[in-house]
Amino acid sequence: MKSIALSLCALGASAKVITDDSIFYGQSPPVYPSPNITGTGDWAESYTKAQALVAQLTLEEKSNLTFGASTTDNGCAGWIQAIPRLGFPGLCLVDAGNGVRTTDLVNGYAAGLSVGASWNRELTTQRGHYMAGEFRAKGANVALGPGEYPQSDTRLYIYLHFTIVVGPLGRIARGGRNWEGFSHDPYLSGLLAADTIKGHHQRGIITSLKHFILNEQETNRNPFANTTPQVEAVSSNVDDKTMHELYLWPFQDALKAGSANIMCSYQRINNSYGCANSKTLNGLLKTELGFQGFVVTDWRAQHSGVASALAGLDMTMPDSGYWGKNLTTAIQNGTIPESRLDDMATRILAAWYLLGQDEGFPKPGVGMPYAITEPHTRVDARDPAARPILFQGAVEGHVLVKNNRALPLRDPQVISVFGYSAPGYKQSVVGDGTYSAWKLGAQSTNPEQQVASKVYNSTVFIETIAINGTIIMGGGSGATTPGYVSSPFDALNQRAMKDNTDLFWDFVDPAPQVPASDACLVFINAWSSEGYDRPAVYDDYSDNLVLSVAEQCNNTIVVIHNPGVRLVDNFSDHPNITAIVYAHTPGQDSGAATVALLYGDENFSGKLPYTVPKNVSDYGPLLGPDLPEGDYLNYPQSDFSEGIFIDYRGFEARNITPRYEFGYGLSYTTFEYDSLSVGKTKKAEDADIYPSGPIEQGGQIDLWDVLANVEFTIKNTGKITGKEAAQLYIDTPSGARQLRGFEKLSLKPDETDSVKLPLTRRDLSEWDVAAQRWKLVKGSIGVYVGASFKDVRLQGTLDI
Ligand SMILES: *[C@@H]1O[C@H](CO)[C@@H](O)[C@H](O)[C@H]1NC(C)=O
Ligand SMILES: *[C@@H]1O[C@H](CO)[C@@H](O)[C@H](O)[C@H]1NC(C)=O
Ligand SMILES: *[C@@H]1O[C@H](CO)[C@@H](O)[C@H](O)[C@H]1NC(C)=O
Ligand SMILES: *[C@@H]1O[C@H](CO)[C@@H](O)[C@H](O)[C@H]1NC(C)=O
Ligand SMILES: *[C@@H]1O[C@H](CO)[C@@H](O)[C@H](O)[C@H]1NC(C)=O
Ligand SMILES: *[C@@H]1O[C@H](CO)[C@@H](O)[C@H](O)[C@H]1NC(C)=O
Ligand SMILES: *[C@@H]1O[C@H](CO)[C@@H](O)[C@H](O)[C@H]1NC(C)=O
Ligand SMILES: *[C@@H]1O[C@H](CO)[C@@H](O)[C@H](O)[C@H]1NC(C)=O
Ligand SMILES: *[C@@H]1O[C@H](CO)[C@@H](O)[C@H](O)[C@H]1NC(C)=O
Ligand SMILES: *[C@@H]1O[C@H](CO)[C@@H](O)[C@H](O)[C@H]1NC(C)=O
Ligand SMILES: *[C@@H]1O[C@H](CO)[C@@H](O)[C@H](O)[C@H]1NC(C)=O
Ligand SMILES: *[C@@H]1O[C@H](CO)[C@@H](O)[C@H](O)[C@H]1NC(C)=O
């Protein structure tokens, strides 16, 4: 603690010396030196190739691999320059998590939260596969050999996709980037990340895993230099056990699945910046989890040169000035060992080799224009085979949470449609003339999207809504510009044309007049973007609109486009509100998917990847971000003192009954669970309490040993075909019942199928802080299988 006080003074803080230990977790422990890549597991061959190439590089060439090249005029978010004499074509790094950002002729897939709501692993792999195909397609299919690199061409390959968000994990309800992540549960998040990586690897694209780590709020994510001393970024302070059991968990799954890149985060961790934190980078990532790939900064997240190099950073984006000439000088004068730079270069090139990008990767991406008006060769990256995946992704991300026999619609003759989130946007492209994120519902300039959360000490928060049209995703670097957007109203019109339905609509009046109708549909949304946290998790404007329709229509169906948790208690019990749908962030097929579901052409199968409480007060301090306060105005602190008790773990521990629990979602059919059996495997017989296996990427390999299997059957007992996401929870040694298995099945009426879910050593362990290992806790463990966290259908015990 003393050292903190000293460093604050050294940085020029106020004369007041901070002595109160209770509000600080303290300092991140130093972990040096930075571990070298060792070529374990699948990395052996790519490591050898990378070492051989690095051995031929000059100091400056190696250094040039580690920072962003200056030109931005090639459609890449970040660019590593080529080494033409050795046939290395450079690297092009491109956003976004739901498709190729900043270009034309691409698709906009369902965003993270919708993927989480699908609970569908196969669909997630397919999504990753087709998304990666679009990254690959933005170039012509010409294989280049060494020396064949066209030096004059400044446009480069899209090699690396900023695709997988497992942090934020949704610690705070109002988190601005919660929609980019899959779920507020680390187990669900981890497996869907692994599946996305699998899909990308099928197409030879490097995945970037982000944001490492504890990037749980947008407020104060970066330092502000407009005061003296400057306001540093918020510090996320977390204990070691929570780190392992909650926040590191999904990263571990994704590393196990082979992600060759990871992005360090903007904010601080135990008061040390995410891209210069030796404990998280050298310690957790490169030692404990045996990471073989390279660490890249989030954009402009580097705040030191020598320190970040020694702490384990491998690439800075864009060119911060901290490295380049300054890095080579520091090496020449002995401040940084050259072996650290060799390791950076080896890790970067090994990732390139691992994905086979040295063997016939497409020619430079001529399909990536910079400005909208720039004439360019058109490269249509959209594979027709991706269409069913896009549509199904939109469908399965919808979650039906209330249905009083309103849905599916049965031959309605008159339908009235309300709400600003039903029609398409009035204006398709705004902004600075580039293919940035702002097209069709991902706009940054909407006056209704004013930011309250940037204002310190502000207590009045009014939720922002995208009042001028439907949204299909949130905003910021995670947004894309798909070729088309199917709005709910477009899709309803098409359906009306087919069925000869009579449609009425009003998207403007906050208290519209409602014609006598068979059904009244109200479409509302919430806006969310990178860069700031949502001001609230419901808004009175939308709630009043819903209530006003419901007062006049006894069959009111509410559809919400929600990029995060959205509370509905102001209207959910209203007798005239007969159905409520969370549509989440469906991507370009949004409206078509909603209408197919409303009419029963498709059947709801999504389940909530987070909990919906009844009241904002249920969140306690986890509603919104931590703000700079007290002695820490310049050094904002966010203490994760709730431990692993976020979302359903927290509500359960505090005995709060939610409105809709984690894993909840209705179907048009019914399922019966039966025949539970819980069996130990041979490996469990004489299992030591600690793992003893060697470390490969992902951690000690025997953490993935299957020690038990949980089997059961599911029968579709209704009249229509449907899918069920079955869930397995166990009472973990950490004192919380947690998700430890799931599978989605499609069943015809009367069809029965069996499910077998493995429990690994890690699933059954807790993090032992003293031993610094996962510890298998022997004893009797409660096992719960069901349709949601609360809807337990089968119960058993596992004696381990
Ligand atoms: C942060 O500090 C806590 C409390 O001292 C410690 O348990 C944890 O390991 C630290 N984590 C990091 C990443 O520094
Ligand atoms: C990394 O490898 C280099 C070259 O073999 C060696 O000099 C250096 O000590 C190694 N660093 C670590 C941390 O093992
Ligand atoms: C390294 O990069 C700089 C620009 O950042 C460039 O001027 C220089 O030519 C590059 N060196 C080599 C050897 O490619
Ligand atoms: C790089 O080194 C130069 C010369 O020593 C110095 O002026 C500059 O501030 C350094 N850049 C950074 C970002 O530290
Ligand atoms: C070595 O170079 C680095 C980067 O320019 C500089 O910060 C450091 O002060 C230098 N050290 C010595 C001993 O010259
Ligand atoms: C939204 O609509 C309002 C009212 O028509 C208009 O004033 C405003 O400019 C629109 N905003 C955007 C971003 O289109
Ligand atoms: C926030 O409130 C505290 C206590 O009321 C006050 O001391 C501080 O100056 C305020 N901060 C800002 C940025 O207004
Ligand atoms: C609901 O309203 C419709 C038309 O407005 C009417 O025909 C119907 O009888 C009402 N149903 C009930 C249960 O009140
Ligand atoms: C919605 O609920 C909140 C919190 O209970 C309340 O403050 C607000 O006035 C309600 N709004 C409406 C439209 O009922
Ligand atoms: C429900 O809707 C009917 C019109 O269909 C209306 O007469 C009635 O007052 C509404 N009920 C409530 C509680 O608003
Ligand atoms: C959904 O259920 C309907 C029956 O209402 C059935 O015809 C259809 O095949 C089902 N759709 C899917 C995709 O299972
Ligand atoms: C929500 O919580 C607030 C503050 O605790 C309370 O005043 C209000 O009555 C609650 N609303 C509901 C609907 O429970």
Q: What is the pLDDT of residues 121-143, one digit of tens each?
A: 999 999 999 999 998 887 533 33
Of residues 523 and 452, the one with the higher pLDDT is: 523
Smallest CA separation from ligand 5 atom 3, residue: 330
Q: What is the per-residue DSSP string for 72-101? A: -TTS-SEEEPPBGGGTB--EEEEE-TTS--
Q: Inform me whether the pLDDT recorded for 145 exceeds 50.
A: no
Domain spans of the chain? 35-354, 386-630, 669-799
Q: Inform me whether the pLDDT recorded for 11 exceeds 50.
A: no
Q: Looking at the CA of 722, which ligand is closest?
A: 11
- pLDDT score of 13: 34
Confidence band of 223 (pLDDT split at 50, 70, 90): very high
Cα–Cα dist 101/78, whole Å:
12
> Cα-Cα-Cα-Cα dihedral of 606, 525, 187, 678, to 10°?
-30
Q: How far is CA 243 from CA 169, 270, 642, 719, in A?
A: 12, 12, 12, 46
Of residues 109 and 466, the one with the higher pLDDT is: 109
Q: Inform me whether the pLDDT recorded for 341 exceeds 80.
A: yes
Q: Looking at the CA of 574, which ligand is closest?
A: 10
Atom of ligand 11 nearest to the CA of 746: 14
9 C-alpha to ligand 2 centroid (Å): 35
Ligand 11 pocket, 603 CB below 6 A? yes
Which range among 28-32, 344-348, 456-460, 556-560 shows the weakest confidence by mean pLDDT? 456-460
Mean pLDDT, residues 661-667 taken together:
98
- 67 near 79, Cβ under 8 Å? no
Q: Inform me whether the pLDDT recorded for 62 exceeds 70.
A: yes
Ligand 10 pocket, 573 CB below 6 A? no
Q: Inform me whether the pLDDT recorded for 376 exceeds 80.
A: no
Q: Inform me whether the pLDDT recorded for 458 exceeds 70.
A: no
- 785 near 759, Cβ under 8 Å? no
Give the dihedral sign, CA 575/576/577/578.
positive
Question: Which CATH class name applies to 386-630?
Answer: alpha beta
Mean pLDDT, residues 156-163 taken together:
70
* Three-class DSSP category at 180: helix
**DSSP 8-state class, residue 635:** S
Which range among 30-39, 365-374, 669-678, 717-726 shows the weakest confidence by mean pLDDT? 365-374
- pLDDT score of 710: 98
Q: Which CATH number fits domain 669-799: 2.60.40.10, 2.60.40.1930, 3.40.1280.10, 3.90.45.10?
A: 2.60.40.10
Cα–Cα dist 679/797, whole Å:
10
Smallest CA separation from ligand 3 atom 4, residue: 69
- pLDDT score of 137: 80
Q: Which of 404, 5, 363 is nearest to 159 (CA)?
A: 363
Pocket test for ligand 2, best of 54, 286, 336, 339 (most atoms within 8 A of CB): 339
Atom of ligand 6 nearest to the CA of 446: 13
Smallest CA separation from ligand 9 atom 2, residue: 570
Smallest CA separation from ligand 5 atom 1, residue: 330
Residue 109 phi, psi (nearest 5): -80, 165
Question: Which CATH class name applies to 35-354?
Answer: alpha beta
Cα–Cα dist 642/203, whole Å:
41
Cα–Cα dist 500/517, whole Å:
15
Atom of ligand 7 nearest to the CA of 456: 13
Confidence band of 74 (pLDDT split at 50, 70, 90): low
Q: Which residues lie below 8 Å from residue 580, measured CB to CB, with a gap of 6+?
A: 400, 401, 402, 557, 558, 560, 568, 572
**Beta-carbon neighbour count of residue 623 at 10 Å?**
18
Confidence band of 658 (pLDDT split at 50, 70, 90): very high
Atom of ligand 4 nearest to the CA of 320: 13
- pLDDT score of 76: 75
Confidence band of 570 (pLDDT split at 50, 70, 90): very high
Confidence band of 652 (pLDDT split at 50, 70, 90): very high
CB-defined site of ligand 1, < 6 Å: 25-26, 28-29, 239-240, 269-270, 279-280
- pLDDT score of 78: 83
Which range among 69-73, 186-190, 500-504 shows the weakest confidence by mean pLDDT? 69-73
Cα–Cα dist 215/235, whole Å:
9
Most confident segment among 75-84, 333-342, 461-470: 333-342
- pLDDT score of 120: 98
Smallest CA separation from ligand 9 atom 14, residue: 570
Cα–Cα dist 468/426, whole Å:
7
Confidence band of 23 (pLDDT split at 50, 70, 90): very low
Of residues 101 and 512, the one with the higher pLDDT is: 512
Cα–Cα dist 337/52, whole Å:
19
Cα–Cα dist 441/475, whole Å:
9
> Cα-Cα-Cα-Cα dihedral of 741, 747, 750, 753, to 10°?
-40
Atom of ligand 5 nearest to the CA of 327: 4
Mean pLDDT, residues 212-224 taken together:
96
Q: Inform me whether the pLDDT recorded for 573 exceeds 50.
A: yes
Same fold, 386-630 and 669-799: no
Q: Which residues lie below 8 Å from residue 648, measured CB to CB, with a gap of 6+?
A: 184, 185, 611, 658, 661, 662, 789
Q: Inform me whether the pLDDT recorded for 719 exceeds 60.
A: yes
Q: Which of 698, 645, 784 is nearest to 245 (CA)?
A: 645
Q: Inform me whether the pLDDT recorded for 251 exceeds 50.
A: yes
- pLDDT score of 81: 86
Smallest CA separation from ligand 3 atom 12, residue: 61
Confidence band of 378 (pLDDT split at 50, 70, 90): confident
Q: Inform me whether the pLDDT recorded for 742 exceeds 60.
A: yes
Which range among 406-420, 452-466, 632-646 shows the weakest confidence by mean pLDDT? 452-466
Mean pLDDT, residues 29-57 taken together:
98
**Which residue type, as a one-letter code, is found at position 572?**
S
- pLDDT score of 439: 55
Q: Inform me whether the pLDDT recorded for 16 exceeds 50.
A: no
**Which residue type, as a one-letter code, is found at position 384?**
P
Mean pLDDT, residues 708-733 taken together:
98
Q: Inform me whether the pLDDT recorded for 98 exceeds 50.
A: yes
- pLDDT score of 448: 44
185 C-alpha to ligand 1 centroid (Å): 22
Geometric angle at alpha carbon 326, from 320 and 328, rounded to 5°:
125
- 480 near 437, Cβ under 8 Å? yes
> pLDDT tens digits, residue range 225-236?
888 888 999 999
Q: Inform me whether the pLDDT recorded for 364 exceeds 50.
A: no
- pLDDT score of 480: 84
Q: Inform me whether the pLDDT recorded for 438 exceeds 60.
A: no
- 138 near 76, Cβ under 8 Å? no
- pLDDT score of 144: 33
The percent of the chain in helix, strand and coil, each rounded to the nearest 5, is: 25, 20, 50
Which range among 363-367, 419-423, 547-551, 764-768 shows the weakest confidence by mean pLDDT? 363-367
Task: Give the catalytic positions in this structure.
Answer: 298
Residues of the chain above pLDDT 70, percent:
88
Geometric angle at alpha carbon 276, from 267 and 647, rounded to 5°:
35
Chain center to CA of 708: 29
Chain center to CA of 68: 24
615 phi-psi bin (left φ>0, alpha ψ -120 to 50, beta other): beta
- pLDDT score of 157: 53
- pLDDT score of 368: 67
586 C-alpha to ligand 6 centroid (Å): 23
- pLDDT score of 430: 47
Cα–Cα dist 251/177, whole Å:
17
How buried is 378 (Cβ within 10 angstroms: 0-12 exposed, 13-18 middle, 19+ buried)?
exposed
Mean pLDDT, residues 779-800 taken together:
97
Ligand 10 pocket, 554 CB below 6 A? yes
- 199 near 134, Cβ under 8 Å? no
Which range among 157-171, 501-515, 656-670 shows the weakest confidence by mean pLDDT? 157-171
Residues of the chain above pLDDT 90, percent:
73
Confidence band of 367 (pLDDT split at 50, 70, 90): low
Q: SS3 sequence, 97-114? A: CCCCCCCCCCCCCCCHHH
458 phi-psi bin (left φ>0, alpha ψ -120 to 50, beta other): beta
Of residues 137 and 757, the one with the higher pLDDT is: 757
Cα–Cα dist 105/98, whole Å:
14
Ligand 12 pocket, 657 CB below 6 A? no
Ligand 12 pocket, 615 CB below 6 A? yes
Atom of ligand 3 nearest to the CA of 70: 5
Q: How far is CA 77 from CA 96, 160, 318, 319, in A?
A: 10, 10, 8, 12
Mean pLDDT, residues 228-247 taken together:
94
62 C-alpha to ligand 3 centroid (Å): 10
Confidence band of 429 (pLDDT split at 50, 70, 90): low
Ligand 12 pocket, 569 CB below 6 A? yes
> pLDDT tens digits, residue range 256-315?
999 999 999 999 999 999 999 999 999 999 999 999 999 999 999 999 999 999 999 999
Q: How far is CA 572 from CA 402, 404, 565, 576, in A?
A: 8, 12, 15, 10
Q: What crossing angle do the helices spanning 338-354 and 325-332 adopt, rounded to 10°? A: 130
